[in-house]
């Protein structure tokens, strides 16, 4: 079973990488780009057959390692 985790900074947390990307896009002539938020995507291959068990396992992984839950939020896709 595959899982995909999207990790993003929480709203209100400064995103210097996103600001750098926004600035670079403007410098390259791309107009009309507002706020840019940068995150990460983590793909996992799980040896699990139950969808809810897989989701619970990935949630635990996120809480313990994959996301800094003080400043980041995460979304889990199971497929």
Q: What is the reported pLDDT for 25?
A: 97
Q: Within a 10 A sphere around the Cβ of 52, how many other Cβ atoms?
A: 9
Q: What is the CATH number of the domain that holds 47?
A: 3.30.1280.10
CB 24: neighbour CB atoms within 10 A? Answer: 12
Q: Residue 33: what pLDDT?
A: 94
Structure tokens at 73: 């939020």
- pLDDT per position as a tens digit, 14-54: 999 999 999 999 999 999 999 999 999 999 999 999 999 99
pLDDT of residue 48: 95
Range of the domain at 10: 2-78
Give me the number of domains the chain comprises: 1
What are the φ/ψ torsions at residue 44 (nearest 5 degrees)?
Answer: -125, 140
What is this structure's pTM? 0.88
| DSSP secondary structure code for residue 28 in this structure | T
pLDDT confidence of residue 77: 98
């Amino acid at each position: 079973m595959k899982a995909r985790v999207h990790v993003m900074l929480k709203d209100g947390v400064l995103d210097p990488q996103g600001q750098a990307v926004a600035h670079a896009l403007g410098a390259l002539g791309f107009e009309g780009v507002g706020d840019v938020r940068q995150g990460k995507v983590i793909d996992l291959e799980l040896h699990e057959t139950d969808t809810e068990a897989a989701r619970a396992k990935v949630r635990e992984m996120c809480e313990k390692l994959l996301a800094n839950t003080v400043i980041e939020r995460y979304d889990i896709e199971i497929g």
